[in-house]
Amino acid sequence: MASAGLSLGSIPDIKMKHLEKIDSVYKITVYENSNDEYYSFCTPECAIYIDEYIKYRQRNGENITSESYIIRNDFNVYEPLSLRVKARGISKHTIGEIIAKLLLKSGTRLVRQVYLTHGLRKFFINQLIESDVKTEHRWLLEGHKLKGNDPYYVRISKKGLLEQYQKGIDNLTIDPANRLQRKVETLTIEKSRLDKIEDKMRRIEKMYR
């Protein structure tokens, strides 16, 4: 919810087939085959946790297919394999309870100013605003329709939407270590680009000596 801006009610129906890996992020299709269908993205940090969670389920015997739910019912690793592999989706009520318990355990839920799960979506929206994501792109990432005549005149591609989302990745990344890692990767890429330019300039200089 904090990474992709998904509403609580949309999460129980999301399956593996609704995820598409694009570089280090996932494109997530929401409310597929409905009038409300849209897609958003999740951060590389979130994508890593999704991958680890799926691998964990596979290690415990579950056969992951395109129809597998992204979040399944809880299971006991000490249960017989025949019970562990009987995966089913969970309700939004259960997800809400899990989040509430985690907040209570962490001690961060001190003032109930924002509805628990809506607060995560609000965080997503605010971080996109802080990252100067274009308004029309932000609306689409939130699952809203473009306003007025925009749907008829504005055509936003998947590439364009992803590029705008990427502007907010650092602000949407929770763990400071992951933010630092992204900065290191960005600087490494930039250094590589500058090295290539410098090498090209040296070759040109040699040609005219």
| Residue-level pLDDT at 75 | 87
Domain boundaries, the chain: 8-174, 176-209
61-69: average pLDDT = 95
The pLDDT confidence band at residue 113, using thresholds 50, 70 and 90, is very low
- Mean pLDDT of the residues in the chain: 86
* Structure-block tokens of residue 70: 């992204």
CA-to-CA dists, residue 144 to 2, 84, 124, 169, angstroms: 17, 38, 14, 20
Q: In whole angstroms, what is the distance from residue 6 CA to residue 36 CA?
A: 13
Contacts within 8 Å (CB) and 24+ apart, 37-41: 38/140, 38/143, 39/158, 40/4, 40/5, 40/6, 40/141, 40/142, 40/143, 40/165, 41/4, 41/141, 41/161, 41/162, 41/165
The pLDDT confidence band at residue 193, using thresholds 50, 70 and 90, is confident
CATH topology of domain 8-174: hpI Integrase; Chain A (1.10.443)
Alpha helices for 116-166 (secondary structure H): 116-130, 135-142, 150-153, 158-166
What is the number of alpha carbons within 13 Å of residue 65 lying toward its C-beta? 5
Which three-class secondary structure state does DSSP give residue 131?
A: coil
Global model pTM greater than 0.85: no
Query: 165-187, pLDDT tens digit by residue?
Result: 999 999 999 887 765 665 666 66
Q: In whole angstroms, what is the distance from residue 163 CA to residue 165 CA?
A: 5
Q: In whole angstroms, what is the distance from residue 51 CA to residue 44 CA?
A: 10
User: Is pLDDT above 70 for 156?
Assistant: yes
Query: 98-112, pLDDT tens digit by residue?
Result: 888 887 787 765 555
Which three-class secondary structure state does DSSP give residue 117?
A: helix
DSSP state of 15: B
| Residue-level pLDDT at 166 | 94
